Structure 1
Amino acid sequence: MRFVRVFVSVLVLLVVFFLNTSNSFAASYIDKEVDSKVTTESVKSASSLEELKNQIHQAMSKRQTSFTIEYTGNPNKLTENIKKIVEQIFTEDEYLNYDYRSYRYTWKNSGNRAVIDFNVSYFQTKEQLEYVNKRIQEILDDIIDPSMNDHEKVKAVHDYIVLNVKYDTTYNQSHNAAYFALKNGVTMCNGYSMLAYQMLEELGIPVRFISGRAGKENHVWNLVQLDGKWYHLDVTWDDPSPDEPGRVMYDYYLLSDQEIQKDHSWKEGGLNGLNPPYPQANTVYLNELVKLGEMELMENLGLHYLTSDWTVNENQLSSYLKGKLTNQEKSFSFRFVTSRSNEFQQMVSKATNGMRFKNLNWQIAEYQRTPEQDYIVNVTVGY
């Protein structure tokens, strides 16, 4: 922050304030200079801090990159008040908070008159936002059936994004928004979460942004409310990278705080400190699906593997496999809890010794949803 005071003649005091701030998850980028010249007709006026706040918000909502406001209210602490106003706007308008890249402003005053010039950089232009809104409506008309409940709608939105968007492995921050996810099919975490936010909001499903750390990097994902209960939804981390066309994962689908904290962390206010307080997510989604009798949805999400009927530990493996082979089942799958996955072949050989079959093949993949050392095993048998 910098203050410059210049005296022009004996009576007039000119004060210039400069502020430049940027979104903390936006990483590095080139802040291009913009033409800040404005015509008299484009200058807005405000006589109170509330009017000033409304004028700033309106301009930012239209994604105006430069605008001027003439303020005739009390200039005392104007520097501090402008900063507070902008922060309030970002706190109250979550989508805007994740769509702006940086903002800066200068102001000068003489007496009770202050002229404030703003320059703002966004991820998306006004025209790009209009495209996003139109395209989202088209997509929802296609993937949402009126008979769906909110649980099914969330899955439909999640699956659409995972199947139609690829993670940008070039880390192009300038394309880190919903427009590029829809137009180019490539974006980063901010774009994934913005698209999920807009689609769910359009469906009337309560949704939030949350930002913090995932792995060792800054990250953005969503919070979603179903039946009054909040859950974490990380569409980015459910999308295989490198991309695997047709594959959808549910490892980070509607998790509780405890479930996602194994590799995600956050603090109140998010990365830039301007998010409203986050709701607690203390519900295990599997338990809710069981209560609701949503067995088909539970199986489609792969959550049935968490139930005792589909879970096998090392001590149970031998009897489990013998039962399947005795019944001559040709294909089956289960969740295997073990600390010795590298010895799986030896365990299978020992368990099936003496059993009659031509060939037995399996695929084993780590199950990310739980903190346990567990794996999903898919088995095919020829008799």
Structure 2
Amino acid sequence: SILDSLVKLILIAAIIAATIFLGIKTHEIYRNKMLEKSLKTAHSIEEVAELINSMLSESSPDSISIMVEGVSESELEDINRYISTTSGSIESFEITKNNKKRNKVKFIIRKNETTYVYDCLKNGTPIPGNNEMAIILYNKIKEITGTVIKRGMTDYQKELALHDYLVSNCTYGFGSPDDENEFRAYGALIDCEAVCSGYTEAMTLLLTDAGIKSEIVIGDAGNEHHAWNMVYLNDKWYHLDATWDDPKGMNIISHAYFNISDDEISKDHSWIKDHTRTAADDDMEYFNHSGLVARTPEELTIIATNCYRNTTSDFFEVAISDIESDLSECINDFMNAIGKYTISYSIIERTNFKILIFYK
């Protein structure tokens, strides 16, 4: 009958629809499984950060998905403490339970002023016209490099000039959670107050505009989380920590952490060395490069006297190495040479030498 035929057609159509639906679902499941297999797997929060940093350096995605094993959700919540924020930061993440051991995690990328300026300086990508803070930061970068960098400067001289500008014009902040600028280059260069990530971002932007390659290192120093730069000069990498060259409350420009090696900075900094460049040499280290290392009491008197007489600032630095004589006696010889009865100084202990900071 017509009714029976109609019922059969409806059943056939339902079967066909169900088959198509199951086929689509099966294909989606298969595709998702294949996609998950293609995703890289991280086994620690440091490896998660390394993968994110690598992907952000290659492109500017809105999200990143990776497989995570052995990393807790609370560790993932601190991911921004481990990634190089010049390429973006993590706004949020979503965990998809895959099994007890491995989870798929999707990270949503947030761009900030530093991100836009860095992309513009490095790749020529226009800054969005509605991002006023990024435009202000970009103009400040151009103003600084245009002022402190002179024609004929070597990359070392450019780096030194930019380092000294930053340390001289920025004050270490309190890291208030309510003031994101303190953690960004904007805080360091516009507000003139920042924590280590702000110093490091600012140094990265300045070096990038000067045509000097650099990278950000995430680790620990002084019993707290810390960030600093590595700089590439003459086919070699060196550590540069502008934050620690700006001692709190001292109003000086130090160079104790300017272009130092892995061995030297390891005295008070720690990081996962397998995930960073290797800095094996100290030939571009500030004191070696500037001829400010004294190896005898006589050399200390000569170098310190020259610095005292020729330095226009209220302080100067001298490094001493392999001097076995009593330091106080060496300082007395220097004071006699300049005709003073007393002089204030502080000491920064390094691995290969001591740094003396004299205050006029």
| 1:360 match | 341
Alignment map for 1:41-80 (pairs within 5 Å): 74-78=31-35
Distance across 2 between alignment mates of 1:198 and 1:189: 14
- CA drift of 1:185 comes to 1.1
- Higher helix content, 1 or 2: 2
2:144 aligns with one of 127, 139, 142: 139
Matched residues in 2 for 1:197 and 1:263: separation?
A: 22
Q: How far did 1:222 drift?
A: 0.6
> Out of 224, 234, 238, which is 2:241 matched to?
234
Q: 1:243 to 1:78 in 2, by over 3 A?
A: farther
Q: Is the 8 A contact 1:339 1:373 kept in 2?
A: no
Show the counterpart of 1:90. Answer: 53
Moved more, 135-144 or 247-256: 135-144
Determine if contact 1:365/1:375 at 8 Å carries over to the other structure: yes
Residue 204 of structure 2: SS of its match in structure 1? helix
1:19 corresponds to: none
The corresponding residue for 1:306 is 293
**Alpha-carbon separation, structure 2, partners of 1:365 and 1:287:** 20
Separation of aligned partners in 2, 1:378 and 1:200: 30
1:328-378: CA deviations, max 9, x gaps? xx969965656976xx38x877x79xx999862222210344454563557
Q: Quick one: distance in 1 between partners of 2:338 and 2:149?
A: 45
Distance 2:225 2:158 in 1: 28
Structure 2 residues not aligned, in runs of 5+: 1-17, 43-47, 61-82, 97-104, 117-130, 311-315
Q: After TM superposition, give the deviation of residue 211 of structure 1 in Å.
A: 1.0
TM-score calculated relative to the size of structure 1: 0.56
**Secondary structure of the corresponding residue to residue 292 of structure 2:** helix
Give the aligned residue type for 2:166: I
Contact 1:251/1:368, CA 8 A, preserved across alignment: no
Instruction: Tell me the CA shift for residue 265 of structure 1.
Output: 1.1
How far apart, CA to CA, are the structure 2 residues paired with 1:158 and 1:357?
A: 30
Is the contact made by 2:258 and 2:285 (CA closer than 8 Å) also made in structure 1? no
Residues of 1 paired with 2:161 and 2:236: CA distance? Answer: 19
1:179 alignment partner in structure 2 = 186
Quick check: 201-210 or 230-239, which moved more? 201-210
Could you tell me which residue of structure 2 aligns to residue 37 of structure 1?
A: none
Cα 1:357/1:241, change in 2 over 3 Å: closer
Question: Residues 198 and 338 of structure 1: is their aligned pair in 2 closer, same or farther, counting only changes over 3 Å?
Answer: same
Superposed CA RMSD in Å reads: 4.6
Which structure exhibits the higher relative contact order, with contacts defined as CA atoms closer than 8 Å and separated by 6 or more residues? Answer: 1
Q: Distance in 2 between matches of 1:356 and 1:288?
A: 25
Q: 1:135 to 1:79 in 2, by over 3 A?
A: farther
- Residues 287 and 293, structure 2, Cα contact 8 Å, conserved in 1: no
Identity of aligned residues (%): 25
What's 2:272 paired with? Answer: 267
In 1, Cα distance between equivalents of 2:143 and 2:186: 14
Alignment partner of 1:283 is 2:269 = no
Instruction: For residue 163 of structure 2, give the secondary structure of its aligned residue in structure 1.
Output: helix
Say whether the 8 Å CA contact 2:239–2:257 is kept in structure 1: yes
